[in-house]
Amino acid sequence: MSRIVYVNGEFVNEAEARISIFDRGFLFADGVYEVSSILGGALIDNDAHLQRLERSLGELSMPCPASLKDIAEIQRELVTRNQVKEGALYLQVTRGVAERDFAYPSNTEPSLVMFTQARPLIDNPAAKQGISIITVPDQRWKRRDIKTIGLLPASMAKEMALARGADDAWLHEEGYITEGSSNNAYIVTEGGEVITRHLSNGILAGITRGAILRLSRDTGMKVVERPFSLEEAHQAKEAFVTSATTFVYPVIRIDGKTIGEGKPGPVTVRLRELYVEMALQQAAAQQR
């Protein structure tokens, strides 16, 4: 079944979507993106995603192609047109079309494209069984707080993981984990503390991360935002990742070492339940 996608003001069949080869997203990866999850046909935590989009654009002095309210309207329309009940919506803004030049062009119209991907988020084997990861050096640039479309280092890390029989990669720098190839990384210690790296230019401020930290604190869990080392990761009682497309996935193996009992641990399972509950409530509220 072919999708309806959104390209610069038009809803078109995916086969008819066109972007210029001079688009700076294509030539310079000069663009930013957001991925929002869809549950029950509703976008989850989308306001937070759009706020982060605005921030990413600001950091790159890139104009926003429409008001956030109008962008949200287009997103909802696209979900409706494709009748997606569960999955994700990808949104990308690039600086637009200009003669190739390293300097930012003036007065170009930014491009805005969006597409949906239908896929199971709740009833997902990785969520039930957990995933295995390897750790690899973080080869990305130093502004990982900006959600840019320059994703080749992340793609290479994922590819290395698959080549070594794992599902994904965690990235490390100076002996400490930064984050996952496309998710935030957490460990749970013997004492039950949930640890994840503090926010900085070194990681993306995950929207799911924000929600998970709120939920863990609300339920009385001890949360510490600090870097954790490779050794701590290998010795963790539990480990997990969060993102808009995974919610919470347990990590049951790191670099071939079994984490905890080699199955999703109680803290991870509880946090996933809490997140899904919150997301379903958000979806239901939007239906009303």
Between 207 and 259, CB nearer to ligand PDD: 207
184 is a contact residue toward ligand PDD (CB under 6 A): yes
Site for ligand PDD in 231-270 (CB under 6 A): 242-245
Q: Measured from the CB of residue 43, what is the shortest distance to ligand PDD in angstroms?
A: 13
Stretch that binds ligand PDD, among 17-25, 115-123, 180-188, 213-221 (CB under 6 A): 180-188
Would you say 83 and 93 are in contact if contact means Cβ atoms under 8 Å apart? no
Q: State the Cα–Cα distance between residues 63 and 103, nearest whole angstrom.
A: 15
Stretch that binds ligand PDD, among 3-11, 66-74, 107-115, 200-208 (CB under 6 A): 200-208
Between 108 and 138, CB nearer to ligand PDD: 138
Between 91 and 98, CB nearer to ligand PDD: 91
182 is a contact residue toward ligand PDD (CB under 6 A): yes
Q: Measured from the CB of residue 50, what is the shortest distance to ligand PDD in angstroms?
A: 12
206 is a contact residue toward ligand PDD (CB under 6 A): yes
3-state SS, one letter per residue, for 203-216: CCCCHHHHHHHHHH
Between 108 and 183, CB nearer to ligand PDD: 183
Active site residue 257: no
Among 209, 213, 240, 252, binds ligand PDD (CB under 6 A): 209
Q: How far apart are the first and last CA of the chain?
A: 29
3-state SS, one letter per residue, for the chain: CCCEEEECCEEEEHHHCCCCCCEHHHHHCCEEEEEEEEECCEECCHHHHHHHHHHHHHHCCCCCCCCHHHHHHHHHHHHHHHCCCCEEEEEEEECCECCCCCCCCCCCCCEEEEEEEECCCCCCHHHHHCEEEEEEECCCCCCCCCCECCCHHHHHHHHHHHHCCCCEEEEEECCEEEEECCCEEEEECCCCCEEECCCCCCCCCCHHHHHHHHHHHHCCCCEEECCCEHHHHHCCCEEEEEECCCEEEEEEEECCEECCCCCCCHHHHHHHHHHHHHHHHHHHHHHC
Q: Measured from the CB of residue 222, what is the shortest distance to ligand PDD in angstroms?
A: 21
Q: Measured from the CB of residue 35, what is the shortest distance to ligand PDD in angstroms?
A: 4
213 is a contact residue toward ligand PDD (CB under 6 A): no
Q: Measured from the CB of residue 140, what is the shortest distance to ligand PDD in angstroms?
A: 8
177 is a contact residue toward ligand PDD (CB under 6 A): no
207 is a contact residue toward ligand PDD (CB under 6 A): yes
Cβ burial of 23 (10 Å; 0-12, 13-18, 19+) is: buried
Among residues 147, 222, 237, 263, which one is catalytic?
147
Stretch that binds ligand PDD, among 74-82, 176-184, 225-233, 256-264 (CB under 6 A): 176-184
Stretch that binds ligand PDD, among 4-12, 69-77, 202-210, 216-224 (CB under 6 A): 202-210
* Active-site annotation, residues: 147
Which residues contact ligand PDD by CB under 6 A? 35, 179, 182-184, 204, 206-209, 242-245
